[in-house]
Amino acid sequence: IVLTGGDDHLWKTWGFPDGNILLTGEGHTDWLSGCCFRPSGTQLVTSSGDTTVRLWDLSRSGCILTLRGHSRAVRGCTWHSCGDFVASASADCTSKIWDVNSERCRYTLRGHKDSVNSIEFLPFSSTVVTSSADKTLSLWDVR
């Protein structure tokens, strides 16, 4: 299965190698900048120009949680390997670590001087790496 998001405000899962659309999710009101599967494979997370991060249940193709807190477009998102946390990077110069169990922002990472364009958890770690339009990379310990 391949997961994509695009300018049409939709995410889609595709069967591989045939290329058939398996599921489509709608709910964002602007372009999708990122999407990725939860490590368990039962849910996914998407980020959008509409300033939100959304969690989706694949069995229902429906949004189960909308995370709000960024003031500008969200440029990317990713899951922690444990599946309990989502990280987001935004054009508002911040990144956020979201606790999906409590449905709230656990940390806001401030320090970049321009848009944060990508974010990744290092595997099996509490360290996050961000990249920014300010031409820097930052490592964050989010314990």
- What are the pLDDT digits (tens) for 92-135? 999 999 999 999 999 999 999 999 999 999 999 999 999 999 99
Which pTM value belongs to this model? 0.94
Choose among 51, 128, 50, 116: nearest CA to 85. 128
**Contact (Cβ atoms closer than 8 angstroms) between residue 17 and residue 2:** no
Residue 21 lies in a domain: no
Residue 111 lies in a domain: yes
Residue 65 lies in a domain: yes
* Burial (CB count <10 Å: 0-12, 13-18, 19+), residue 134: middle
Q: What is the pLDDT of residues 1-57, one digit of tens each?
A: 999 999 999 999 999 889 999 999 999 999 999 999 999 989 999 999 999 999 999
Residue 13 lies in a domain: no
Strand (E) positions, 38-92? 43-48, 52-57, 62-68, 74-79, 85-90
pLDDT at residue 60, as a whole number: 79
Residue 20 lies in a domain: no
Q: What is the CATH number of the domain that holds 35?
A: 2.130.10.10
Q: What is the pLDDT of residues 56-83, one digit of tens each?
A: 999 876 999 999 999 999 999 999 999 9
Q: How many domains does the chain have?
A: 1
Residue 50 structural domain: 31-141
